[in-house]
Amino acid sequence: MKCGICELEDSKYKCPRCSVQYCSMLCYKSKSHKHHTIENHDKKSAIDLITARNATDETKSVLHDSRLAKLLKEPTLRFHLKVIYELLNHPQLTNETSAEARREIANKKLVNLRRRGSEENKLVEDFCAHVLESVNR
C-alpha cells in the first residue's frame, strides 16, 4: 500500500491518531499530514443525528447504550464515522454516483477499518461489534 501522504513510497507505518498509512517521519511530520478535526457544527453526537431521523425501536435501544456513548466520545472513532458518513452523502458523489455505489464505497472503507483491514482500528471494530450485539439482542 502506498503512503497516504506523499503517495510515492510504500507505507510502513500507521498514524495512531488518524490511521493514515505513511512511509517515513518526514511524511508523518509534514504539513500535508493533517489530523482532521470535527468542526463545531459537526460535533452533534451520532445519537442526535440518528434520533433526528425516524428511529425504530431497535435503533432507539442502541442509542441509549452507555458503552456506545462512551465509544462515541473518542475523537478517532468520530473521525472515522464522519468519513463514512461523508462518503455516503458527499455532494459530488451524490450527484455523480448512485446510492448503491456510494454504499459500496462506504462499506469498503468500513471493511478496511475493521479487524484485519488495511486501516484496522480497534475503536471502529469495538463500535461495530457492540452495535451488532445490541441489535441482535
pLDDT tens by residue, 62-91: 667 788 888 888 888 988 998 888 888 876
Give residue-wise pLDDT tens across range 4-37: 888 899 988 888 777 788 899 898 888 887 765 4
Is there a single domain that holds both residue 18 and residue 84?
no
pLDDT at 35: 62
Are residues 82 and 124 located together in one domain of the fold? yes
What is the reported pTM? 0.55
Say what the pLDDT of residue 50 is: 47
Number of domains in the chain: 2
Query: Are residues 30 and 42 part of one domain?
Result: no
CA 53 – CA 60 distance, rounded (Å): 11
1: domain range?
1-35
One domain, residues 74 and 120: yes
Q: Is the pLDDT of residue 45 over 50?
A: no
What the block records as the C-alpha cell of 120 is: 484496522
Same domain, 65 and 97: yes
- Mark whether 98 and 44 lie in a shared domain: yes
In angstroms, how far apart are the furthest CA atoms of the chain? 50
CB-side neighbour CA atoms (13 Å) of 69: 8
